[in-house]
Structure 1
Amino acid sequence: MAGIHALDRLIGNDYPELATDEEVRAFEQVPYADRVAAESTYDAIRLGAERNPDGAAIQFLQNADPADTPLVVTHRDFIGRVTQAANMFHALGVEKGDVVSFMLPLVPDAFVTLFGAEAAGIANPVNPLLEPHQIAEILEAANTKILVALGPMPGTDIWQKVEQIRPQLKHLKAIVQVFGGGDPAKGIFAFNDLIKQQPSDRLVSGRKILGSDIAAYFHTGGTTGTPKLVRHTHANQVYQAWALNLLLKSKPGANMLFGMPLFHVGGSLTQVLLTLSAGGSLVVLSPSGWRNPNSVKNIWGLVERFKPEALSSVPTVLAATLAVPPGTADISSLKYAAGGGSAIPVAVGSAIQEKLKLPVVEVYGMTETSSVHTLAYPSRPIRLGSVGLPMP
């Protein structure tokens, strides 16, 4: 009988407390390789889906409004569509070591693209708000073979940027359009037309993904120049989900209010892979995520409806939520606030503790370390202004 932690072979029905250094050292006596149950992110998502196959993997809110009727994708359907996406990329010529770059807002098929690309080759999520010349340099540095991008839509210039930079991409074989009809004669294909041709129950390539295989490239911030690419192996990314699920005591069916970009490791790994590999659910706050003003304006109504245990985002979002009165909303589901990406100002942490009566779990990580590598352990006294302790 599998234990509570989907990615750990040895943990039973209860998570260890790890409340002292001695408990952590005792836990670490068992080698990580003996514990971890997933070789790849594809395995991790599959294991999470097995815990909660008919539960929601994604609940997509078009307007970040608690009154929205969410578009729901179950775990069973999500892993099936990820498998189809991997097969679609394989049919387009993607093999291990080939790069699928994507420029997408937070629509359900962006999550499918991320993990489908990792199962077929290497995913390279790119910030579509960068200038065209920066995007072109990133895509070319990655030797992009397939580009997945949002088709022409009002209010976004992603497709215009794709058309502008396409001539500069020497390795590009095809473009796959999400919410677009495609133009096969020009090497542009409609995502839905291609994916529905593929089986959802197996990887047609027969690929056995190794932990040492490269899963993704993530670009660094690029605030002082052109962003640089960081390589992550599947083992890097799986460890992130394993460790955070361990320390945050994740469980199937738990909701995460999600609005971080997928080109940020805090979004793709610290929140998305963590949640999906535990059989939890991402409540996606519109295609724009936290950039949509409704996400903060409606925060307490969203908490009341979806009952997350964590209020988790970057410090600027956490600070913005403090300006929104909870009113009569029931926010009793919240057990802690969590933030990273930059330091949580002590004043903000103090205000969260005072106004919301929540402990503040601060994390520290880098793109280069596959996101988090220290955090304040929820089972120990928390000191504001500290990033806590190393993960096991």
Structure 2
Amino acid sequence: MHFTAFPLLDPVTLLFSICLLSFLMAMVSFTTAGSMPEQAPALREFSKSMSVAGCAFLLYYLRGNISWFLGFFVSNALFLMSSYFGLTAYARLLRLNLSTPIVAGLVVFGVSGVAATYFFQTPRQVAVFTVSAAITVMWSINVALIASGMTKRPTPSALLGIVIFAIGAVAFAARTIFCIAGEGASISPTSGAFLQVGLLLFGAVFIAASAVTFLAAAHERQRSGIEENALRDGLTGLYNRAALFRIARELDATRDATRYAVVMLDIDYFKDINDRHGHSGGDVVLAQAAALIASLARKADAVFRYGGEEFCVLLYDSGQQEAEHFSARVVGAAGRSVANLPDGSIVPFTFSAGYATRSTATTHGAARELFASVLERADLALYRAKRGGRNQSVAALPVVAIT
């Protein structure tokens, strides 16, 4: 089946359109990188992917007017490299680890079939098989990358990216199967065969959709990064007070029997440290004290700078025993630690801690304890720890004892 009666479906027209579209998307990605510094490495990598794809399709378009080495060997190698750069772009965007040797091995596998056909005159079917199989696996890895980078609430760009690359992987898997079955052995993009024209049509849609999807994902990451920075303390890198109360609202909204504990920590005699070493020295102590707390918290827990020299730790799925153990560990570790100032001074510091666990008991239909109440009890326990001599942890009074 051929499409010569439909000029818009002419393979040469499609190839030229894909070539221009690829270069356009490369330019858009590269210029967008300037306005999004945090996502710039990923955007430049994606721009590289689109540029290489454009070069590959340009060589396909010029096939017949250039050497067979360029039109066949180099064009297919560039097409494989485009997929490689696309994978690394997504890995950088999503901050995920990518096994470069495995992906590079897929490129080598794809090129090996092309090399065998070009240098040793093996059937073209070999080149079709290796290129299609390599692309199938690489795009499947892309689907896995995007899926693993999704949050609890998948974004439209992530879902669209999965759909696009999944369809692409299926299309090239089908081409691989057809090749094994002895069909579709021709790898000439200028062929008017149904399979070739179908792949070129998909290629045009794929280039546009993948570029739009990637740019949208980059914008989403940039926006979420800005929101994340707004919830972080600039000095310590911990979550700030605004983040604490946002999480508090979420916890209160669940209205269930979620177990958690709140630990309040305060650096003892911090005013004396500031007076003796200046505010810059105090900042170093704050940063190192924050790092100590964060190093002892679990990944599931959340650590906040509550204000000044005061910190708050939210221990998820924790009761009295876990809160007591964590508080004792932090107080003990601080007692064995010192802060090293840039001027060579060594500043010892200690913590006072107060902790409270959420009461999940209800009486006569009363609501379960809200976060503000747990926080207040932990703060009162901290006050008692400081009044009692500092450098210690104190448990909060039960709910019934303060009502």
Q: Which structure would you say has the larger RCO, counting Cα contacts within 8 Å and 6 or more residues apart?
A: 1
Q: TM-score when scaled to structure 1?
A: 0.22
Question: Which structure features the higher share of strand residues?
Answer: 1
Question: Which structure features the higher share of helix residues?
Answer: 2
